[in-house]
Amino acid sequence: MRDLEFAGGTAVLTGAASGIGAALAHGLARRGADLVLLDRDADGLATVVAAIRAAHPDRRVQTHVVDLADADATDRVAAEIHRAHPRIRLLVNNAGVALGGRFDQVTLEEFLWVIEINFRAVVRLTHALLPALKTEPGSHLVNVSSLFGLIAPAGQAAYAASKFAVRGFTEALRHELVDDGIGVTSVHPGGIRTRIAASARVGSGVSVEEYEVGRRQFEKLLTIDPATAAEVILRGARRRRGRVLIGWSAKLPDLLARIAPAGYGKVLALGMRPRPARVPAPRPPATDPAPTAAAEPGRPA
């Protein structure tokens, strides 16, 4: 399969108002793609579009403000996009949300909210726009899973379930669409500096103190710039890579899960355990050195 050509094609991108999505929008515009951008954050989306139009006035950019948790609204927007763009070169399902708390600390409604946005919206948009991808020669599909689509730590039951589902869905499509000439990439970012931790919902049964401890620990892992992540994703898509892992914070856990698929949880728990503050040992009080007798000429001291 030939490399993906961005220039002159239409790229549809969800979660485009911030983080990796905003960086992907800028990267696609630089590569010559026309854009259809989706997000629920109208103000953030407008800011991204204004910057792209200022830098690339020849790019065609359309936007749709939609909450992907609303299945009917998602279906309507997908149908509108298909009518306006019967040929799509690239679809990037990037939007995602997080929920903090163990399975027994979240309500079923909270759990399914994550599944609706992170997985079912991916399925809905892909199903609606797949005919447009098939119509465009050399098209490509990118689904953004997560580090937690490779491992599933405690406290991330909803998020991991949704991202493992995205991974499985994407891998199946990779095998199904090869004869149609459509490339498919599953993306697994590690610690990217985005707002997902700060904007995550907190399970109804999670105490504020417990949430803050977990949030601070998680945010220490967020070291990769979204622009760097976006470039890795776009290079992977151009080269038609089936799977893209971003950063050692994704690659090392992936290796750990391969080596110890049933036992990596103990290693993760050890790594996430709060370290006690180091208290320096008390020093003995300073004392003046004992006087030393001066040596007389011809006698040893």
Identify the domain containing residue 195 by its residue range: 10-272
Is 5 domain-assigned?
Answer: no
Q: What is the pTM of this model?
A: 0.85
Band of pLDDT at residue 216, cut at 50, 70 and 90: low
pLDDT at res. 182: 98
Is 246 domain-assigned?
Answer: yes
268: CATH: 3.40.50.720
Is 292 domain-assigned?
Answer: no
The Cα 229–Cα 206 span in angstroms is 31
Is 284 domain-assigned?
Answer: no
Identify residue 139 by its one-letter amino acid code.
S
Q: Give catalytic residue positions.
A: 159
* Tens digits of residue pLDDT in 228-281: 999 999 999 999 999 999 988 888 888 988 998 888 877 776 655 554 445 454
Contact 37, 117 (CB under 8 A): no
Q: What percent of the chain has pLDDT over 70?
A: 82
Is 4 domain-assigned?
Answer: no
pLDDT at res. 242: 97
User: Which ranges constitute the DSSP H helices of the chain?
Assistant: 19-30, 42-55, 71-84, 108-115, 121-135, 157-176, 208-219, 226-238, 248-259, 264-272
Q: What percent of the chain has pLDDT over 90?
A: 68
The Cα 3–Cα 181 span in angstroms is 11
Is 241 domain-assigned?
Answer: yes
Residue bearing the bigger pLDDT, 287 or 191? 191
Residues 6+ apart with CB under 8 A from 57: none
* Tens digits of residue pLDDT in 115-129: 999 999 999 999 999
Is 282 domain-assigned?
Answer: no
User: How many separate domains does the chain show?
Assistant: 1
Is 301 domain-assigned?
Answer: no
The Cα 49–Cα 63 span in angstroms is 8
Identify residue 22 by its one-letter amino acid code.
A
Strand partners, 185: 142
